[in-house]
Amino acid sequence: MFKTGFVTVVGKPNAGKSTLVNKFVGFKVAITTPKPQTTRFNIKGIITDEDSQIIFIDTPGIHTPHDKLGNYMMDGVKSALKSIDVVLYLVDASKPKIDVASENIIKHIKELNVPIILVINKIDKVKKEYVLKIIKEYDTYIKQIGGTFSEVIPISIYKEDGLSLLIECIKKYLPESEKIYQDDDITDITEREIVEEIIREKALNNLDEEIPHGIKVEVEKFKKRKNRMKEPVYDIEVNIICSKDSHKKIIIGKDGSMLKKIGTQARHDIENMLEDKVNLKLWVKVRRNWQDDENYLKNIKDKI
Tens-place pLDDT, residues 163-199: 999 999 999 999 999 999 999 999 888 899 889 989 9
Q: Of 172, 205, 231, which one is at a domain's C-terminal end?
A: 172
Q: What is the pLDDT of residue 215?
A: 83
Tell whether 157 and 221 lie within a shared domain: no
What's the CA gap between 68 and 243, in Å, rounded?
14
Tell whether 216 and 293 lie within a shared domain: yes
Residue 165 lies in a domain: yes
Residue 178 lies in a domain: no
Tell whether 154 and 13 lie within a shared domain: yes
Q: Of 120, 140, 172, which one is at a domain's C-terminal end?
A: 172
Our CA angle for 88, 47, 110, nearest 5°, is: 15
CATH number where 130 lies:
3.40.50.300
For β-strands 3-10 and 215-226, DSSP reports them as unpaired
Q: What is the pLDDT of residue 280?
A: 98
Residue 179 lies in a domain: no
Q: Of 120, 137, 172, which one is at a domain's C-terminal end?
A: 172
Residue 13 lies in a domain: yes
Decide if pLDDT at 224 tops 80. yes
**What residue numbers bound the domain in which 239 lies?**
191-302
Q: What is the pLDDT of residue 72?
A: 47
Q: What is the pLDDT of residue 63?
A: 43
Decide if pLDDT at 80 tops 60. no
Tell whether 24 and 126 lie within a shared domain: yes
What's the CA gap between 259 and 255, in Å, rounded?
9
What's the CA gap between 100 and 64, in Å, rounded?
11
What's the CA gap between 253 and 248, in Å, rounded?
8
Residue 250 CA to its chain's centroid (Å): 26
Number of domains observed in the structure of the chain: 2
pTM of this structure: 0.77
Decide if pLDDT at 68 tops 60. no
CB-count burial class (<10 Å; 0-12, 13-18, 19+) for 83? exposed
Residue 255 lies in a domain: yes
Continuous segment of H or E residues that includes residue 240: strand 232-242
Tell whether 52 and 114 lie within a shared domain: yes
Please compute the mean of the pLDDT values over residues 39-46 and round it to a whole number: 72
Tell whether 108 and 227 lie within a shared domain: no
Tell whether 145 and 210 lie within a shared domain: no
CA dihedral 295, 300, 303, 304 (to 10 degrees): -100
